[in-house]
């Protein structure tokens, strides 16, 4: 099922010809127009590649916030000794063979009744988590906050490394649980992960930390929602252990979302127009899911098909996309934001009015999908079984 957002292909009212919403954050270039966007059920169209769009003087904003980041962002990390590890949720390989085998048998019994489409979305989430090297690479492209040495004591670099270390546990845990379940084709999953890491990602952040932190704020909220919904479905399907796993991962994502959202809050305080333009820029381009280049060597529309199953099962939907936008508008108090230039106010109006338009256009897309009738696709991850989209 396709979920489409059609945004009018015109400049915002009052935007001067030849300038776009983010002209404060990048050199002037021809006016960019709003275009048809996709939400959750289809991969976004490729964006024009732009690099280093943040004016050099803006780097000083992030240098000036290093002390603040040490006091307000780094404390949201947890000490390693206080964190859960994947082994806390898995059969203990140190047990005698019979006892270990019994734990694996119980795991397989719990997962036996979960439907195939559940494993499609769980595998898709796991693959997204497992492509973590790409995400650390992306953050380290951002001017002013990258890890310049690989072991820098700069607080921005320390956050990125420790965030990566915490996130690394998610894919490890889900992959091992899926392996032990016997319900999925691990070879095809491993190929998909390698294809995805090789392909990389381009979310349109342009080496610009204003854009990058807006993206990560939205994306961490999205993964919190997705893992929370897989937890609910696992509980309903009779696997409380898997429900606990997904819920625990969701809690991590919520804490990480809080950190990135806090950074954007601070940018809105110190540079309200610059931050507001960045939010509008990312929403205009659409927040692209990090696994949008997913491929298994067989299905060129794999991400589209995976996302359609996630939408149908209520794991991550166009409504969730609009909900996240509304949540962040509220958290960042965008409707009440003051001190903006005229361009900033136009960006504010665009962002604050976008969620209702998303919902209305999604209703129309859903109606078109209903008229088309049910469609299905086979997934190599579950031994080429067909699943309704």
Residues involved in catalysis = 84, 129, 167, 170, 220, 223, 252-253, 256
Q: Please say whether the beta carbons of 214 and 278 come within 8 A.
A: yes
Angle at 69 between CA 67 and CA 75, to 5 degrees: 115
Task: Tokens for 76, please give them.
Answer: 């949201």
Phi and psi at 386, nearest 5°, equal -90, 145
Number of H helices, E strands in the chain: 14, 4
Cα–Cα distance measured from residue 255 to residue 387, given in angstroms and rounded to the nearest whole number? 33
Residues β-bridged to residue 36: 6
Cα–Cα distance measured from residue 163 to residue 69, given in angstroms and rounded to the nearest whole number? 14
Cα–Cα distance measured from residue 389 to residue 380, given in angstroms and rounded to the nearest whole number? 15
Cα–Cα distance measured from residue 50 to residue 62, given in angstroms and rounded to the nearest whole number? 21
Beta-carbon contacts of residue 14 (< 8 Å; ≥ 6 apart): 342, 346
Tally of CB atoms within 10 A around 157? 19
Tally of CB atoms within 10 A around 265? 15
Beta-carbon contacts of residue 365 (< 8 Å; ≥ 6 apart): 2, 3, 4, 318
Cα–Cα distance measured from residue 62 to residue 145, given in angstroms and rounded to the nearest whole number? 7
Cite the beta strand spans of the chain per DSSP E.
4-6, 36-38, 376-379, 385-388
Cα–Cα distance measured from residue 294 to residue 132, given in angstroms and rounded to the nearest whole number? 13
Phi and psi at 322, nearest 5°, equal -65, -40
Task: Tokens for 293, please give them.
Answer: 């280049």
């Amino acid at each position: 099922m396709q979920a489409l957002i059609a945004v009018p292909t015109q400049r915002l009212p009052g935007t001067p010809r030849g300038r776009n919403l983010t002209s404060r954050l990048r050199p002037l270039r021809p006016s960019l127009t709003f275009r048809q966007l996709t939400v959750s059920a289809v991969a976004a169209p490729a964006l024009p590649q732009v690099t280093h769009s943040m004016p050099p003087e803006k780097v000083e904003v992030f240098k000036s916030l290093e002390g603040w980041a040490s006091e307000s962002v780094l404390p949201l990390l947890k000490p390693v000794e206080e964190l859960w590890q994947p082994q806390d949720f898995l059969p203990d390989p140190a047990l005698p063979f019979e006892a270990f085998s019994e734990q694996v048998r119980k795991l397989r019994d719990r997962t036996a009744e979960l439907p195939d489409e559940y494993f499609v979305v769980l595998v898709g989430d796991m693959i997204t988590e497992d492509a973590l090297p790409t995400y650390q690479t992306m953050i380290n492209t951002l001017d002013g906050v990258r890890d310049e040495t690989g072991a820098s004591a700069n607080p921005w670099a320390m956050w990125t490394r420790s965030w990566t270390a915490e996130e690394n546990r998610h894919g490890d845990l889900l992959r091992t649980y899926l392996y032990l379940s016997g319900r999925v084709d691990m070879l095809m999953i491993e190929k998909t992960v390698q294809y995805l890491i090789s392909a990389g990602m381009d979310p349109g952040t342009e080496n610009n930390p204003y854009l990058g932190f807006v993206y990560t704020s939205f994306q961490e909220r999205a993964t919190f929602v997705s893992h929370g919904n897989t937890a609910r479905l696992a509980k309903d399907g009779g696997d409380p252990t898997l429900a606990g796993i997904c819920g625990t991962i969701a809690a991590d994502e919520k804490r990480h979302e809080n950190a990135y959202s806090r950074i954007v809050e601070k940018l809105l305080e110190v540079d309200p127009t610059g931050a507001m333009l960045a939010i509008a820029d990312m929403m205009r381009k659409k927040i692209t899911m990090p696994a949008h280049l997913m491929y298994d060597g067989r299905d060129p529309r794999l991400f589209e098909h995976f996302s359609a199953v996630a939408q149908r099962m209520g794991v991550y939907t166009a409504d969730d996309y609009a909900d996240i936008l509304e949540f962040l508008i509220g958290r960042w108090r965008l409707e009440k934001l003051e001190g903006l230039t005229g361009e900033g106010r136009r960006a504010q109006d665009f962002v604050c009015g976008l969620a209702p338009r998303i919902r209305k256009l999604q209703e129309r897309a859903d109606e078109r999908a209903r008229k088309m009738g049910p469609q299905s696709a086979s997934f190599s991850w579950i031994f080429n079984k067909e699943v309704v989209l």
